[in-house]
A = this chain, B = another copy of it.
Amino acid sequence: MLVNKYILPINSGSYDYLVIGKNIAKELGLKAQDRVMLQNPKYPEKQTLCFAEINEGKLKKNSIGIPLRTYEKVKKGLNLKFKIQKEGNIKSIDFIKEKLDGKKLKEPQFQAICKDIVDGNLNDAELAFFVAGCYTNKLSFKEAAGLTKAIADNGFKLKFRENQIVADKHCIGGVPGNRTTMIVIPIIASLGIKIPKTSSRSISSPSGTADTMEVLAEVDLKQEKLENLVKEYNGFIAWGGGCNLAASDDELIRIRRKLGLDPQGLVLASVMAKKYAAGATHVLIDIPYGKFAKVQSLHKAEELKEKFEKIAKELNVKIKVIITKGNQTIGRGIGPRLEAIDVLKVLNNEKDAPKDLLEKSLKLAGDILEMIGKAKLNEGYSIAKKQIENKKAYMKFQELIQAQGEKKLLQKAKHQYEIKAWKDGKIKEFNIKLISKIAKIAGSPKSANSGIEVLVSLKEKIKKNQTIYIIHSNQPNLLNQKIKQYIKDSILIS
């Protein structure tokens, strides 16, 4: 039937719906959450599948409410009338049911599901059934690979000529200050190798790579810009959330978070889809483990390593997984501004650059160079080191900053709180979780110049009253009893 539109002053969130009055619903035989096709009758190609929300209150006669997102899909010219008709179920629903029933899905079925997610044709309940199916009836590696491709295909993808080598790196996270990406990318790119890098913002940490990079340059870049950057400069360091990369995965993550579900196959597909969409042929994965890290034992790290290797095999992507120690912070700074300063010092080969950050970055860059055959075995590290010493990586980084859009470095935070050792001794343990917590209380990552400078390292001998941290914050009187206790518990002196 033909109806008048009535624009609702809200977005529809993740799927398309129409608010339909009781009368129209009765006429079309619609129940709440039935699917309806909305079409611009003058431009029949302008149409979209929507869910029906039945309005119990008053709506103007023969009018429907259209949220902005949905309206964008059908509007053209000054059309005031739209056509709606009831639609049956979609194929994806059958596939989701099959997964919940324990059947194995194939790639085309994941493709259909991801396309419907991106098109807004699946509502939250249907997505939850899909996640529940993947949770209770684990995805095989073949299935995870199928889902990976489907997530990548139904979003923004970087295209390269055949046989083009494209590198990528990924750290599973959890270690404060671990900003190797911002050093590895310019090293590799400065050697003429493609290494486009999309990173995430902080979810629960004091800073994500995107947050730190954002101190120096724009990271919220459009697809076309990213394509040009990789063409011209071999890479970029951008925020992955801004360019529709793995859009269906964002929806799956949103639903997973409701119950805190981390089904193995979905987690693997989530990580690998971003690499796959970035065109990666060679991927280096860093798994730090430690008592307070995300992965708490070597055994668990090795299990995870094996899983990454298996899915990469299914995806026909070369992978190297390294397991590193995640028992202390890396670099000197924690928090966007302080981390950015560390990165600049390392790239600029400055004398007081944090050695641990430099060494880890060179190791990772060397591994990539060896993996893609740009360096012989055990020679990657020294090739990478040369790019730091001859400042080529630094120049590449400056090039990227300029090209992405340079930002003026923030001032230091208003307040500095020096934390001193409470006794003589040796640093026996870093509780990196608590250190993250303190940096977040100080204001990171929202207040980008807040954070912590860590001045000591594991096993170091220290004297009473020696400064071990400097907390940067814009908040006065930060050091209340609670945070003082966190500080005391964050480092074990024996």
* List of B residues within 8 angstroms of A57 by Cβ: 9-11, 68
Pairwise interchain contact B258-A100, C-beta atoms closer than 8 A? no
* List of B residues within 8 angstroms of A58 by Cβ: 9
Q: Which of B13, B97, B127 contacts A260 (CB 8 A)?
A: B97
A10–B58 Cα gap in the complex (Å)?
8
Min CB–CB distance A430 → chain B (angstroms): 27
* List of B residues within 8 angstroms of A172 by Cβ: none
Q: Does A19 contact B (CB under 8 A)?
A: yes
Min CB–CB distance A14 → chain B (angstroms): 8
Q: Does A254 contact B (CB under 8 A)?
A: yes
Q: Does A158 contact B (CB under 8 A)?
A: no
A9–B126 Cα gap in the complex (Å)?
26
Q: Would you list which residues of chain A between 122 and 153 have a CB under 8 Å from chain B?
A: 123-129, 131-133, 135-137
* List of B residues within 8 angstroms of A442 by Cβ: none
Q: Which of B19, B68, B96 contacts A259 (CB 8 A)?
A: B96
Residue of B with least CB distance to A58: B9
* List of B residues within 8 angstroms of A4 by Cβ: none
Pairwise interchain contact B124-A93, C-beta atoms closer than 8 A? no
Digit string of A50-82 for contact with B (CB within 8 Å is 1, else 0)?
Answer: 000101111100000100100000000000000
Q: Does A271 contact B (CB under 8 A)?
A: no
Number of this chain's copies in the assembly equals: 2
Interface size class of A (residues with CB under 8 A): 35 or more
Q: Which of B65, B123, B124, B125 contacts A10 (CB 8 A)?
A: B65
Pairwise interchain contact A258-B10, C-beta atoms closer than 8 A? no
Q: Does A8 contact B (CB under 8 A)?
A: yes
Q: Does A33 contact B (CB under 8 A)?
A: yes
Residue of B with least CB distance to A14: B32
Q: Does A454 contact B (CB under 8 A)?
A: no
* List of B residues within 8 angstroms of A126 by Cβ: 128, 258-259
Pairwise interchain contact A259-B97, C-beta atoms closer than 8 A? yes
Min CB–CB distance A109 → chain B (angstroms): 15
A53–B68 Cα gap in the complex (Å)?
14
Min CB–CB distance A36 → chain B (angstroms): 15
Pairwise interchain contact B53-A13, C-beta atoms closer than 8 A? yes
Q: Does A219 contact B (CB under 8 A)?
A: no
A127–B255 Cα gap in the complex (Å)?
12
* List of B residues within 8 angstroms of A100 by Cβ: 132, 135-136, 259, 261
A73–B32 Cα gap in the complex (Å)?
22
Pairwise interchain contact A33-B136, C-beta atoms closer than 8 A? no
Pairwise interchain contact A124-B128, C-beta atoms closer than 8 A? yes
Min CB–CB distance A244 → chain B (angstroms): 15
Min CB–CB distance A18 → chain B (angstroms): 11
Digit string of A253-271 for contact with B (CB within 8 Å is 1, else 0)?
Answer: 0110011110000000000
Digit string of A390-426 for contact with B (CB within 8 Å is 1, else 0)?
Answer: 0000000000000000000000000000000000000
Min CB–CB distance A382 → chain B (angstroms): 45
* List of B residues within 8 angstroms of A137 by Cβ: 136
Residue of B with least CB distance to A8: B10
Taking A9-B59, A125-B258, A128-B132 as known contacts, 7 extra A-B pairs with beta carbons closer than 8 A to each other, sorted by chain A number, are A8-B10, A13-B53, A33-B258, A57-B68, A97-B261, A100-B132, A126-B128
Offer 12 A-B interface pairs, CB within 8 angstroms, sorted by A: A8-B8, A8-B9, A10-B53, A13-B32, A93-B258, A123-B124, A124-B124, A125-B128, A126-B128, A127-B128, A132-B132, A132-B136
Chain A residues within CB distance 8 Å of chain B: 8-11, 13, 19, 32-33, 53, 55-59, 65, 68, 93, 96-97, 100, 102, 123-129, 131-133, 135-137, 254-255, 258-261
Of all A-B residue pairs in the complex, the 9 with the closest CB atoms, nearest first, are A132-B132, A128-B128, A125-B128, A124-B125, A136-B136, A124-B124, A97-B259, A10-B19, A11-B56
